[in-house]
Amino acid sequence: MRSPQVINTNFDKYLAFDGENVISDTTQLPISFTVGIMYVKITLMDLYDLTSTTVDMVPFNPNSDAGFWYIETSKLTLTNRHKYVGKISQSTGSDVDHRDIKIQEFTVDNDAFEDTLMRLPYEIVIGATSKFVWYANDSYLGTSTNGLYWAPAYQGGTGTIYATDPSKVTHRGAVVPSI
């Protein structure tokens, strides 16, 4: 992990939380690591499009050796290149009564953006501002408004002349998400 705020779901298997922040809602004291597994509800807000998703019954596991509780990232739906915030709440039916835990802002970066682009269908759209357009695998090609990403398509080597034909494309500009 590059930093605690960057998650790579290919390698980072867990999100960890300071055990002293897992507080009993009744006694207001940290919950003992000996309680076993607690079941929780995790709500994540995607800061890219302000959508929220909630996952129920994810095991929240203690590790008394390190003083942290952890959650498996495989239980969460995390989109590459997106930022998130969220909270961990007590799940309905849980035997352990605990306060909500805030999840600070973090981002997902799987170090595979170029690999992702290599797998997506794309086309080169020729016009006044020629561009590469990448689409989701099940998306309709032929209208650049459905694209996931785009980048300027240049010819000539200077990065200032847009391509006038797909066969003349020599390089592309920066890849940006379509809005």
Q: Which of the four pLDDT bands, split at 50, 70 and 90, describes residue 172?
A: very high
The torsion of the CA quartet 129, 132, 137, 142, rounded to 10 degrees, works out to 40
Residue 45 CA to residue 33 CA, distance in Å, equals 28
Is it the case that residue 3 has pLDDT exceeding 80? Answer: no
Is it the case that residue 170 has pLDDT exceeding 90? Answer: yes
Q: How far apart are the first and last CA of the chain?
A: 29
For residues 101 and 166, membership in a common domain is answered with no
Residue 44, classed as helix, strand or coil, is strand
Give ∠ CA 169-136-7 in degrees, rounded to 5.
100
- 1 domain residue, yes or no: no
Tell me: the pLDDT tens digits for 25-68?
889 999 888 887 788 999 999 999 999 999 987 788 888 888 89
Q: Which domain holds residue 80?
A: 6-108
For residues 68 and 134, membership in a common domain is answered with no
Q: Copy the structure tokens of residue 90.
A: 């007590």
- 100 domain residue, yes or no: yes
Tell me: the pLDDT tens digits for 81-123?
899 999 999 888 787 889 999 999 999 987 767 777 888 888 9
Contact between 130 and 163 under an 8 Å Cβ cutoff? The reply is: yes
pTM, two decimals, is 0.60
For residues 102 and 119, membership in a common domain is answered with no
Tokens 């006038």, residue located: 164
Is it the case that residue 1 has pLDDT exceeding 70? Answer: no
Number of domains in the chain: 2
